[in-house]
């Protein structure tokens, strides 16, 4: 398949520094805890674009990146993955601290910097796109929140598949489950990704809503694809040792979208998403297991 024939997955949102704190013992507040600390490229949207490129598609990141040395370094890292960056530069680049617990689960401390200040799509952002993916973290701050809705509507009008990720329980709770699902359906979103906690927070509001597919990610357990009024379980790819779950959901979404935009059905595509997520959890740091 030539490069021009590969699907183009466009991800709109954050590109930020990812500080990974891998605990070596149980965290004890108020005293020292030994840890291994590394610095990587992060941001859910940037991760999806990079994982799409690793999955054999083309990836494009769209967002606002700080006019600073950290922004320069992060853009260079995206370029190493083969990701096209269509960005606005200005302000300060944000960071997220990912605390990796002994069982491989993570806790996040987030400072998005100027990422939320993007008010308009940069020229060429949607040109040639097969899918537009938006982590709904982007709804947390204006003017990016308003832009996200406009971008999805524009993408759908161009025949581009629109994909969103619920991102976190606070996003669902702040927006309201019914209102969030209505927001997606009204804008023509084709697929909503959510994990166990987010699915519970949605409380069934997304099930059977029009033509929107709901992909319920369940970690090592089969994902559930809610489609055409029914549900299909798709077994997860076995993983011998979960090292770090950071970025696994982003890899899952990227693998799924790259596959469905290449002609696979949703069940086949979710199986590919599982495969890419399994690689992502095999090393410390977002997407280290799928890097080129």
pLDDT digits (tens, 9 = 90+) for 132-151: 999 999 998 999 999 999 99
Which pair of tokens denotes residue 47? 């991760």
Indicate whether this model's pTM tops 0.95. no
Q: Does residue 219 sit within a domain?
A: yes
Quick one: average pLDDT of 96-101?
88
Helices 44-54, 69-80: inter-axial angle, 10-degree rounding:
20
Q: Does residue 8 sit within a domain?
A: yes
d(Cα 112, Cα 247) in Å, to the nearest integer? 16
Q: Does residue 209 sit within a domain?
A: yes
| pLDDT exceeds cutoff 80 at 90 | yes
Q: What are phi and psi of 247, to 5 degrees?
A: 85, 0
Residue keyed to tokens 């606070």: 170
Average pLDDT, the chain: 90
Burial 167-196 (b: 16+ CB within 10 A, else e): bbbebbeebebeebbebbeebbbbbbbbbe
Nearby residues of 75 by Cβ (< 8 Å), 6 or more positions away: 15, 65, 85, 87
Q: Does residue 265 sit within a domain?
A: yes
pLDDT of residue 138: 92
Contact (Cβ atoms closer than 8 angstroms) between residue 91 and residue 64: yes
d(Cα 133, Cα 62) in Å, to the nearest integer? 10
| pLDDT exceeds cutoff 60 at 269 | yes
Please tell me which residue, 254 or 206, carries the higher pLDDT value.
Answer: 254
pLDDT of residue 58: 97
Other CB atoms closer than 10 Å to residue 103's CB: what's the count? 8
Say which CATH number the domain at 178 has: 3.40.1190.20
| pLDDT exceeds cutoff 60 at 125 | yes
pLDDT of residue 290: 56
d(Cα 56, Cα 202) in Å, to the nearest integer? 32
pLDDT of residue 289: 45
- Looking only at Cα atoms, what is the longest distance across the chain? 56
pLDDT of residue 287: 55
| pLDDT exceeds cutoff 50 at 194 | yes
**How far are the Cα atoms of 1, 18, 93, 140 from residue 202, in angstroms, in the given order?**
39, 28, 31, 17
Q: Does residue 292 sit within a domain?
A: no
Q: Does residue 105 sit within a domain?
A: yes
Quick one: average pLDDT of 18-31?
90
DSSP secondary-structure letter at 26? -
Quick one: average pLDDT of 256-273?
96
- Residue 262 belongs to what domain range? 3-287
Q: Does residue 162 sit within a domain?
A: yes
| pLDDT exceeds cutoff 50 at 1 | no
DSSP secondary-structure letter at 17? E
Question: What is the number of domains present in the chain?
Answer: 1
pLDDT of residue 28: 87
pLDDT of residue 82: 93
Q: Does residue 239 sit within a domain?
A: yes
Which pair of tokens denotes residue 93? 């680049």
Which pair of tokens denotes residue 128? 């040639």
């Amino acid at each position: 398949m030539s490069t021009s024939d590969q699907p183009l997955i466009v991800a709109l949102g954050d590109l930020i520094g990812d500080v990974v704190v891998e605990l070596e013992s149980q965290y004890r507040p108020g005293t020292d805890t030994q840890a291994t600390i590394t610095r990587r490229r992060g941001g859910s949207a940037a991760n999806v674009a990079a994982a799409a490129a690793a999955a054999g598609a083309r990836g494009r990141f769209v967002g606002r990146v700080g006019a600073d040395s950290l922004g320069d370094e992060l853009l260079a890292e995206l370029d190493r993955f083969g990701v096209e960056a269509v960005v606005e530069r200005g302000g300060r680049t944000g960071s997220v601290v990912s605390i990796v617990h002994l069982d491989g689960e993570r806790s996040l401390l987030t400072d998005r910097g100027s990422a939320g200040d993007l008010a308009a799509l940069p020229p060429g952002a949607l040109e040639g796109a097969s899918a537009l993916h938006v982590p709904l973290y982007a709804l947390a701050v204006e003017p990016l929140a308003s832009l996200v809705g406009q971008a999805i509507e524009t993408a759908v009008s161009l025949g581009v598949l629109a994909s969103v990720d619920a991102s976190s329980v606070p996003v669902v709770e702040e927006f309201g489950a019914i209102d969030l699902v209505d927001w997606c359906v009204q804008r023509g979103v084709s697929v909503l990704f959510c994990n166990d906690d987010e699915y519970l927070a949605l409380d069934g509001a997304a099930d059977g809503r029009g033509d929107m597919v709901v992909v319920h990610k369940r970690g090592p357990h089969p994902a559930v694809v809610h489609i055409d009024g029914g549900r299909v379980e798709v077994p997860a790819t076995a993983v011998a040792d979960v090292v770090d779950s950071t970025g696994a959901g982003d890899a899952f979404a990227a693998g799924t979208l790259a596959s469905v935009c290449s002609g696979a059905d949703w069940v086949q595509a979710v199986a590919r998403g599982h495969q890419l997520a399994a690689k992502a959890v095999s090393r410390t740091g977002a997407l280290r297991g799928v890097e080129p």
